[in-house]
Copies of this chain bind each other. A is one copy, B any other.
Amino acid sequence: MVDDEGANGARPIVRRLGAFEERDDWSAAGWCRVERALEVVGTRSAMVLVRELFYGGTRFDDLARRAGISEAVAARRLRQLLDDGIVERVPYREPGQRTREGYRLTDRGRALFPIVVALTRWGDTLKDDHRTGLEFVHDSCGAPLDVEVRCADGHVVDLAESAVRFTDEEFALRYKAAHRP
């Protein structure tokens, strides 16, 4: 068996704990919560719409135009975001016009904010044209926003100090036994 960690040398990766240590025993499909998240927001068009909603967009035509995607794609993504509870319909009314329906983020949608901030910071490192772009800042002090990985006990945690485990190892082992090929 190849020593995966060996190939990574001194470079930190996440340490696998418990039953998950022996990676060959498991296919991650279905276990990993990253996948769940990506089923919902794992497309560029979904995330640029979410970004526009954070910026205050409401109307369908504005959202599509500002996101730079076609109205057909925007309609499909917004329907999916509605189904997944990320956005909800909200009435709005322009002067002299009838009330129409727009969109806004639900609590679940607004919980994507750290991901949007993290993507912005990471995207910032990809090119050298630091002259242009938008950045998130703390409204009261003006300092740029970033995300920090911390544990529930309040420690700042870097990659070298991180590990991954099953949330319920007993359940995982029973599941594996029941699904043995």
Contacts and interface: CB of A to CB of B under 8 A. Distances in A.
Interface of A: 1-9, 11-17, 20, 23, 26-40, 42-44, 47-48, 51-59, 62, 65-68, 84, 90-94, 102, 104-105, 108, 110-127, 130-141, 143-153, 155, 157, 159, 161-168, 171-172, 175
Contact of A28 (B44, B66, B141, B148): B66
Given A2-B92, A13-B55, A105-B13, A120 B8 contact: no
Contacts of A145: 149-152, 157, 162
Given A38-B47, A123-B36, A5 B138 contact: no
Contact of A165 (B8, B9, B135): B135
State the oligomeric state as a number of copies.
2
B151 A163 contact: no
Contacts of A62: 4, 23
5 contacts: A7-B90, A13-B53, A13-B55, A114-B147, A143-B151
Contacts of A65: 27
A147 B118 contact: yes
B58 A126 contact: no
Nearest to A46: B42
B113 A137 contact: no
A58 B11 CA distance: 13
A110 B4 contact: no
Contacts of A58: 2, 4, 7-8
B55 A134 contact: no
